[in-house]
Structure 1
Amino acid sequence: MAGPSGLFAVYKPPGVAWGRVRDALETRLLRELNAAPGRPPRHHVRFLPAPAGAPGLVAARVPLLADHPLVRGPRLGRLRIGAGHRLDAKASGVLVLGLGHGNRLLTDWYNCHLTRVYTVDGLFGKATDDFSDTGKLVEKTTFDHITREKLERILAVIQGTNHKALVINALFA
């Protein structure tokens, strides 16, 4: 039996590893696919003893016990789910996951270089040991010298550098 296939866009919340999101999706899909009604059991012909007082055997159509759900077990035991990209555990965003033959499409999807938007939150004047908001505070300083104009000027330089790299890569790709 060929299993399900396709691509999924799944939101990954911050604080959760991408592998746990993939595993949770696999568990949920397996539970729901195995709970779905399956095909009816096949039947075969059996020769049973005739009722009391009648001689010989009687042909009877009985269900095949190998098709009984308690004998067969779950129809699907594992799904092949792959990730098109990975997000850090502290990051949140959309994960593109491939299922079955959809895994083949993940490379094409990744190579399309679709537009990505990043939002960064920061706090001026504090430094932590791991550069995150949950890290141990290692330095604290004033930040009143930072103005909106200075910040916008630096962000414009960063944006221009990224745009220039995008154009150069598009020309030589």
Structure 2
Amino acid sequence: MTEHGWFDEDWDDADEDALWETVPVAVGADGLAHDLPAPPGAALRSGSDALAVLLDLVGPERAGAPALWFVLLDATDHTTPVVLPVVDVPVRADRTVAHRLVAVLDAVLRADAPGGSVVVGLVRAAGGDLGAFEAQWVPALRDAADDVGVRLWAVVAIGESRARVLEW
């Protein structure tokens, strides 16, 4: 190997197949021959679960500028690996922006998590409760979701020093 991890001309790949003989393989319930665990995904059972997931994801960004965070759930209410943080959002809700965002989320759900839903996090430093920012964005996103047919599983407000479930 070279110093950067690339194989050079002296690399001997004649016995390459023997390396794979030691890898344990099992046929799973899905019929695939692999030993991989099921993809991780927390099962959300309450608004508090949704809030906990978003608090972990947002981290120190809770002290930042206003942002919208979206976590996608599958049809069994397990988190998927799809998280969409949207920064630089207008302080006043923009219904066109809300409809475009929800349309993107709908496309992702249809492709990767049919029957799934969305958890929304409204994040801003002074947030964490129902203020003017949240009071405008919640109905804008709710209307857009209703128009497109996307289920909002929960809506939470996250601020620097407080957080709360607004809808569940």
User: What TM-score does the superposition give when structure 2 sets the normalisation length?
Assistant: 0.24
